Amino acid sequence: MELLLRSPLDMHLHLREGALLSLVAPFSARAFAGAVVMPNLVPPVDNLARLRAYRAAIADAVAPYAFTPYMTLFFRPYDEATLAAARAAIIGVKLYPEGVTTNSAEGVRDLEAVEATLTLLERLGIPLLVHGESHGFVLDREAEFLPVYARWAERFPRLTIVMEHITTAAALEVLDAYPNLAATVTLHHLLITLDDVAGGLLNPHLFCKPIAKRPADRDALRAAALRAHPRLMFGSDSAPHPVERKEAAGCAAGVFSAPVLLPLLAGLFASHGALANLQAFVSDNARRIYGITPPDRTITLIHKPWTVPERCGDVVPFYAGQRLEWQVVDPLASAAIAGPGAAIQRGSAPHNPDAQP
């Protein structure tokens, strides 16, 4: 049994830099025609010179796959000339409130003060991508930010605002209320809840920001994805950290899902009889919302079990050691499992069996 996807897109991805970029980028490039690349590096990607250098490094890391990195600029109070100059090189500007997630120390402190820049973005037709969390109690942060989305959506009706990695049923309601809002949702937030992170033993490899929420939230997100909600896009938020930063006294937030995204999505959609909607969720919605034309690639998945490696280099992937039903056929290799250049270490099964779709 085969499943063909036309130019799948990962609309929220962390590719890192240096050796980690070289390690993780091929996993995305093998299965996707492009991805929105997040700018929260240290220092952030906040100027065109840095952006071009980063895009070149990504191009090296993903070669020879036909893979477009859709670049983003880290939100600053840019002037109009700067934004106009950047426009052709970016898919949008990514806004982080200060300190809400990995490498967001240089984020926005005063959400009222950004509106001059939003006016420019709206005028220039540059989408605004937002990490929408407050500084409140960890489970309430997304809900507390929702009024900001509503306010901006009303004040800037021609600005495309993307609610990144939504995790709650409440976020879907706000999405539905404003036509200029769009959203991404990750694979892991379609599969896990806080119970998978902290309900049994604590699992640092499932710890991410925004943190996984309640079963009712997961179910609402899943229902929206399975019906290919027209303003909901797939964005993995795959965020690799070396194992020594995860199994540690201070564990960094992020789930490294790049090696398993399409296999798990195919399994989820198939188990709900919704495979016909997967194309829209992983590609068509994003093309329409952003008006982009990714490289024309057909990605083939075959229904053939494989076991996710325990490690990809020094990074533990999502579903490490677990058996998946679908796999991506690597267009460059007969081996369907590993990305090129990735050091793979096989092993036996761990945690989190409940999250298997």
Catalytic residues: 237
Q: Determine if 53 is a binding residue for a second copy (CB under 8 A).
A: no
What is the rounded distance in angstroms from the CA atom of residue 6 to the CA atom of residue 17?
28
The three-state secondary structure class of 321 is coil
Using alpha carbons only, how large is the chain's radius of gyration in Å?
A: 19
Q: Which of 242, 331, 340, 350 binds a second copy (CB under 8 A)?
A: 350
Contact mark string toward a second copy, 292..331, x via CB under 8 A: ------------------------x---------------
- Stretches 35-43, 53-61, 182-190, 191-199: which one binds a second copy (CB under 8 A)? 191-199
Instruction: Provide the residue type at 332 as one letter.
Output: L
Q: Determine if 202 is a binding residue for a second copy (CB under 8 A).
A: yes
Nearest to 108 by CA among 144, 134, 71, 140: 134
Residues 203-262 contacting a second copy, CB under 8 A = 203-205, 207, 211, 214-215, 246-253
- Stretches 6-14, 57-65, 154-162, 199-207: which one binds a second copy (CB under 8 A)? 199-207
Residues 101-160 contacting a second copy, CB under 8 A = 137-139
The three-state secondary structure class of 231 is coil
Distances (CA, A) of 209 to 220, 254, 292: 19, 7, 28
Residues 57-96 contacting a second copy, CB under 8 A = none
Q: Determine if 42 is a binding residue for a second copy (CB under 8 A).
A: no
Q: Determine if 170 is a binding residue for a second copy (CB under 8 A).
A: no
* Residue in the block written with tokens 């590719």: 15
| CA-based torsion, 305, 311, 312, 316: positive or negative | positive
What is the rounded distance in angstroms from the CA atom of residue 147 to the CA atom of residue 142?
10
Interaction site with a second copy (CB under 8 A): 137-139, 193-195, 197-205, 207, 211, 214-215, 246-253, 316, 350-351
